[in-house]
Amino acid sequence: VVFLIHLTSDDDGREFRVQSVIERLVAASNAPIYTWNGNVPGVFGGRFPSTELIAEHTIQLALRVLRGERPEDIPITTIDPSFDWLDWRQLDRWNIREARVPAGVTLRFREPGLFEQYRGYILSTLALVLLQTLLIAGLLIQRRNRRFAENSLRESEERFRVMADTAPVMVWRSGPDQRCDFFNKPWLEFRGRRLQDEMGEGWTEGVHPDDLHRCLATYTAAWPGRESFRMEYRLQRADGEYRWVLDTGVPRLASDGTLVGYIGSCLDI
């Protein structure tokens, strides 16, 4: 190692500027340069007096005097203000890992890492990315659940349609708006019309004009109390003949008790 004690002039009396001398020595030296002066830049390290520690003890003595103690009553104390330090910036140059630095040695001029410099930004970005990830995951789960529910609903609807079409009676179904949204195959064959023609209030076109008012009044009166109903009316068949039918309707309730419509069946009597 190189231990630099003091250098101010050469043999001819020419004075040196410390900064320029140290820069030239540091650049030319093939070994770490140590010194006792903490104000010398560019050296690898050394053991230096702590001006902060000296100032702190001096201030404490001054405060005791200001509080009224006599200086001659204050005992003389000895402190060791020196500390060992290394220039963190020189570790790479001399191929020394930070983990090899002995305990108790202070690393000066240590440059904070990327995380230390931008800790707030990095943590905020990570939090934002995590939040976005959770939101995306939630949306994906929600979409999966919705697709599962839609598939289950389609399967349930298909099973209902197959069951209704094979039933030996005419089956109808209405939604929460009291309008019919389904008629099974026997109904459509009896009426001789397409499903879209019977949907909504289209089925009322087949009710005998003398029975229509009573038929609709019985149907709508059951809704407020969610009551089942039975009624007879004349319904026009595909060949134009009016046939007396017995219509029975029951309310359809959701799992939470909400009325979602009615379902009923008709018998040609």
| Better-scored residue on pLDDT, 38 or 236 | 236
Report whether pLDDT(107) > 70. Answer: yes
Residue 184: the pLDDT is 94
Handedness of CA 248, 253, 258, 261 (dihedral sign): negative
Residue 262: the pLDDT is 95
Report whether pLDDT(154) > 80. Answer: no
Burial 28-56 (b: 16+ CB within 10 A, else e): eeeebbbbeebebebbbbbebebeeeeee
Report whether pLDDT(112) > 80. Answer: no
Strand order in the sheet with 45-49: 2-4, 33-35, 45-49, 82-87, 106-108
Q: In angstroms, rounded to a whole number, what is the distance separating the alpha carbons of residues 112 and 221?
A: 80
What predicted TM-score, i.e. pTM, was given to this entire model?
0.47
Report whether pLDDT(15) > 70. Answer: yes
Q: Which pLDDT band, with edges at 50, 70 and 90, does 39 fall under?
A: low
Residue written as tokens 């930004």? 121
Q: In angstroms, rounded to a whole number, what is the distance separating the alpha carbons of residues 150 and 181?
A: 18
Classified as helix, coil or strand, 180 is: strand
Among 4-18, 129-143, 233-247, whose mean pLDDT is lowest? 4-18
How do residues 181-193 score in pLDDT, each as one tens digit? 999 999 999 999 9
Q: Which pLDDT band, with edges at 50, 70 and 90, does 148 fall under?
A: confident
